[in-house]
């Protein structure tokens, strides 16, 4: 899940900031490569507490 979200978000933010160019795909893959590791760590660290909060709120 973190991979898909970071892939889509890096594409969108890159497009907003730079627009489309001939180097878009290479820049996008570089941005995604930088975004995925922290997204993975954050999802593993925050996931359990957010799941607990969602379960608590849904009762």
43-54 residue pLDDT tens:
999 999 999 999
Instruction: Tell me how far apart the alpha carbons of residues 52 and 59 are, in angstroms, rounded to a whole number.
Output: 11
**Number of compact structural domains in the chain:** 1
pTM of the model: 0.77
Cβ-proximal residues to 18 (8 Å cutoff; 6+ apart), any chain: 24, 27
Find, among 38, 42, 16, the residue nearest to 27 by Cα. 16
Give per-residue pLDDT as tens, 12-35. Answer: 999 999 999 999 999 999 999 999
Can you give the residue range of the structural domain that contains 42? 2-58
Report residue 18 as tokens. 């730079």
């Amino acid at each position: 899940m973190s991979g898909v979200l970071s892939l889509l978000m890096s594409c969108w933010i890159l497009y907003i900031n730079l627009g489309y160019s001939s180097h878009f795909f290479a820049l996008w893959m570089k941005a995604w490569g930088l975004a995925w590791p922290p997204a993975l760590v954050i999802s593993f660290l925050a996931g359990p507490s957010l799941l607990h909060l969602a379960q608590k709120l849904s009762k």
